[in-house]
Amino acid sequence: MAFNRNTTPSRNIVAEILKSAKSDFLYLFGGERLSRDEVLQVIEGINAMGKSIKAFINRPRDLGQVPGNLFYLDSAEDLEIAESFGRENSAHIINLMIVHNPKRS
């Protein structure tokens, strides 16, 4: 998040809240929060470059770790599967990173 000379956030806070409210999940990519629509655009763009998005599904520490919480996202269907896993495991944070997907080799 960028700050102006008055050290106040330059992003529109209302837009951030609305973006978060559109989904059950907090999507994080490189420390930035994305909307679900933005995640789908990233998946499409990265997929076109022959790479994948790797997603870690996280939940609050007091609920413990979730086994099998790693997903490769190459399509909207892959994201839906990851989200379904998150809902079933009370996990609402999806951390995303660009990777080479071994399934593509």
* Distance of alpha carbon 100 from alpha carbon 51, whole angstroms: 5
- 26-104 fold: Ubiquitin-like (UB roll) (3.10.20)
Rounded to the nearest 5 percent, the helix, strand and coil shares of the chain are 40, 25, 35
pLDDT by residue (tens digit) across 8-34?
A: 455 565 565 555 555 678 999 988 899
Instruction: Say if CB 40 and CB 76 are below 8 A apart.
Output: yes
- Nearest CA-CA partner of 88 in 74, 102, 68, 104: 68
Structure pTM? 0.72
Q: How would residue 5 be classed by pLDDT, with cut points 50, 70 and 90?
A: very low
What are the residue boundaries of the structural domains of the chain, listed by start?
A: 26-104
In single-letter form, the type of residue at position 77 comes to E
